[in-house]
Chain A
Amino acid sequence: MEIKSYYNEILTDHNLHPGHKEDLVGATCVHEGINPSCGDDIILQLQVEDGIIKGGSFNGDGCAVSQASADIMLDLVVGKTVDEAKRLADIFMRMIKGQASKEEIEELDEGAALQDISHMPARVKCAVLGWRTMTEMLDQKLK
């Protein structure tokens, strides 16, 4: 497996220059996601109003894969409905398991840059951390 294909420009750029790594003014929900074995840690903040994700940010500490993946996710889901965000998260999770179609992966936009992680089992939990955290948060919110 060629690592170069996932340490690509999209990933390094989101890692070094994240657009969403900040505190969110007006956040309506906060949720922390941790990978205990490797210490990746993100705190995800979303502003959800009328079923729409109006804004999102994250803070935390972790490898480039975990941080860039969270940033890419927020680019994608801000402005979308909660249901749409959960649907995209589901596609992302399936992409990482190698179970998403080409058309579905295209919907993930820059998220597709992480598809080769599916060949690197040790890094899967890094890539899905942000997405898993968001799904947990949105599921709790709807309860």
Chain B
Amino acid sequence: MQNFKKDFPLLMHQDIAYLDNAATTQRPLQVLEAEREFYEKYNANPLRGLYDLGVLATEKYEESRETVAQFIHASSSREIVFTRNATESINLVAYTYGLANLKEGDEILITVEEHHSNMLPWQMVSQQTGATLVYLECDKDGLISDEMVCSAVNEHTKLAAMTHISNVLGRKNPVETLIREVHKVGGVVLVDAAQSAPHIPVDVQKMDADFMAFSGHKMYAPMGIGVLYGKERLLEEMPPFLTGGEMIEVVTRCGATYAELPHKFEAGTVNGGGAYALAKAISFIKEIGQDTIEKREMELTRYAFEGMQQIPGIRIQGSTKAEEHYGIISFALDGVHPHDIASILSEDHVAIRAGHHCAQPLLAYLGVRSTARVSMAYYNTEEDIDRLLQSLSTMRQKMGY
């Protein structure tokens, strides 16, 4: 088995089974060096300078945008807006497209599985415009079927938002069906790809998504760089989100004309080093191979899933099939609170997440207050999982049972 950890300084230097990859991944040396390289070799304010260095900075920034466009198969880099993270990308759409196009009588359709970042912006749009926020419920094991999608969409559905892969249950949702159905009634769909883009190939054109949001830091890039994809036709018509420098053509005392796409949505000095490092992270993913990543993560998921099923007292949330978990396993251990699970695992140098995972409505729907969550990346090993399983298997005893 290839040692994938060798690219990741933190994993090489620390004794840790890092299993909180759905929160953020580790970063490979190539990405860390890329960010440094940008500031060492190309640093000037992108999109401004008329001198050579400024032009170079702009080139590197725009090449990074092109790399992102190719990664998700966008038809043009004009459809790629750099943001801080998926949360900001979704807010951008809510505050611009949402507030400008929705009105009383319209419906916004989201699912109960959404991360708060794909829920609160739509609550805001609903409150401000009078549009009704409708929740698509899942089954108790997290399934959203094509039939459930079809019966939730109606002629009032003007906007729908759905997570591609649930950050709690790891289940993949039928975004293609939702997009098809919502398009039939003339609405638009935003896909939250924060948990999918790092792990499985994503093709916005094949999917026909209108908007897509994801974060760099969940796919080996630095924190603070994220992406919004939007169809050019829609982005063109949207009002700007933030205003100020960089996003204008002409400013007078009483108004301004805005810059062309995508700069209209990138007010202020951009995160040049972050964008450059994100492009490097994408090249890195391509070098490892998206097929290799997906296959390896499924092997690890199955290994962890089967091991956890053997431990008395563990109840796994969501599907009973490992292959429907995409690297994410949320679970409860009878009598041991998730926070205590995470603390005891930490003692054994195993890092997992405990809490509500920013999805309180889903947890309420599932009837739990919090869960523990294991989430894997391709660089994890069977040894990491064994450490998890070893610690879990003695945990009830440690807690006095």
Contact = CB atoms under 8 A, between A and B. Distances in A.
Do A and B actually bind? yes
Interface of A: 2-4, 7, 9, 12-13, 15-16, 37-41, 61-65, 120, 122-123, 126
Contacts of B170: none
Q: Which 7 A-B pairs have the closest CB atoms?
A: A12-B400, A63-B337, A3-B347, A63-B339, A64-B340, A39-B369, A63-B340
A37 B355 contact: yes
> Which among B340, B354, B399 has the greatest number of chain A C-beta atoms within 10 A?
B340
Contacts, number: 53
A65 B400 contact: no
A7 B398 contact: yes
B347 A2 contact: yes
B60 interface: no
B346 interface: yes
A63 B354 CA distance: 11
A123 B337 CA distance: 13
Given A13-B400, A38-B355, A39-B370, 18 more contacts: A3-B343, A3-B344, A3-B346, A4-B347, A7-B344, A7-B399, A12-B399, A16-B401, A37-B355, A38-B356, A39-B355, A39-B356, A39-B369, A61-B369, A64-B336, A64-B340, A123-B339, A123-B343
Interface of B: 335-340, 343-344, 346-347, 354-356, 369-370, 398-401
A16 B369 contact: no
A7 B340 CA distance: 9
A105 B367 CA distance: 39
A143 B335 CA distance: 39
A3 B346 CA distance: 8
> Which among A3, A7, A15, A39 has the greatest number of chain B C-beta atoms within 10 A?
A39
> Which among B343, B356, B369, B401 has the greatest number of chain A C-beta atoms within 10 A?
B343
Contacts of A39: 355-356, 369-370
A7 B356 CA distance: 23
A65 to B, nearest CB: 7
A62 B347 contact: no
> Which among A9, A15, A63 has the greatest number of chain B C-beta atoms within 10 A?
A63
Nearest to B354: A38
14 contacts: A3-B344, A12-B398, A15-B399, A15-B400, A16-B399, A38-B370, A39-B356, A40-B339, A41-B369, A62-B337, A63-B337, A63-B340, A64-B337, A122-B343
> Which among B338, B356, B398, B400 has the greatest number of chain A C-beta atoms within 10 A?
B400
Contact of A120 (B343, B369, B398, B400): B343
B168 to A, nearest CB: 14
Nearest to A2: B347
A122 B346 CA distance: 12
A38 B339 contact: yes
Nearest to B335: A16
Nearest to B345: A3
Contact of A63 (B338, B346, B356, B400): B338
